[in-house]
């Protein structure tokens, strides 16, 4: 799933786990700041907002950040479910760790080599 935030596009499916957590923390902090500002505006004695456009914009920004947090939660849930389905063998833990630590090119090369080795081993078994 792709999201846009601060003129930058993120593909949540391609972010590493720690990058998802970092993005979520940034978004949550921004959302808390917006909530605080809206609460101050709501508590003003006259309940009249000096700048209605600001208030509407802040409310939209808060809702946008909530949707991003929900998308991040959905991606994290998808990954947990995927891990549960695959089982948590040591090789799968290794693959997950490699995916976290290596860049995409390095990880792709290792996976290609591993798949080649697997096919070779399967062909040997057939003989």
Section 31-35 average pLDDT: 95
Question: In the predicted model, is pLDDT for residue 31 greater than 90?
Answer: yes
Predicted pLDDT at 49:
63
Q: What is the 3-state secondary structure (H, E, C) of the chain?
A: CEEEECCEEEECCCCCHHHHHHHHHHHHHHHHHHHHHHHHHHCCCCCCCCCHHHHHHHHHHHHHHHHHHHHHHHHHHHHHHHHHHHCCCHHHHHHHHHHHHCCHHHHHHHHHHHHHHHHHHHHHHHC
Question: In the predicted model, is pLDDT for residue 65 greater than 80?
Answer: yes
């Amino acid at each position: 799933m792709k999201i846009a935030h601060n003129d930058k596009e993120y593909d949540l499916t391609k972010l590493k786990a720690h990058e998802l957590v970092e993005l979520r923390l940034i978004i949550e902090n921004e959302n808390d700041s917006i909530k605080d500002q809206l609460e101050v505006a709501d508590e003003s004695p006259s309940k009249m907002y000096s700048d209605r456009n600001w208030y509407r914009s802040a409310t939209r920004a808060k809702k946008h950040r909530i949707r991003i947090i929900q998308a991040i939660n959905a991606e994290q849930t998808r990954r947990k479910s995927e891990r549960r389905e695959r089982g948590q063998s040591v090789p799968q833990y290794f693959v997950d760790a490699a995916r976290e630590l290596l860049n995409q090119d390095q990880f792709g090369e290792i996976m290609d080599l591993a798949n080649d080795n697997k096919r070779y081993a399967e062909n040997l078994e057939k003989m």
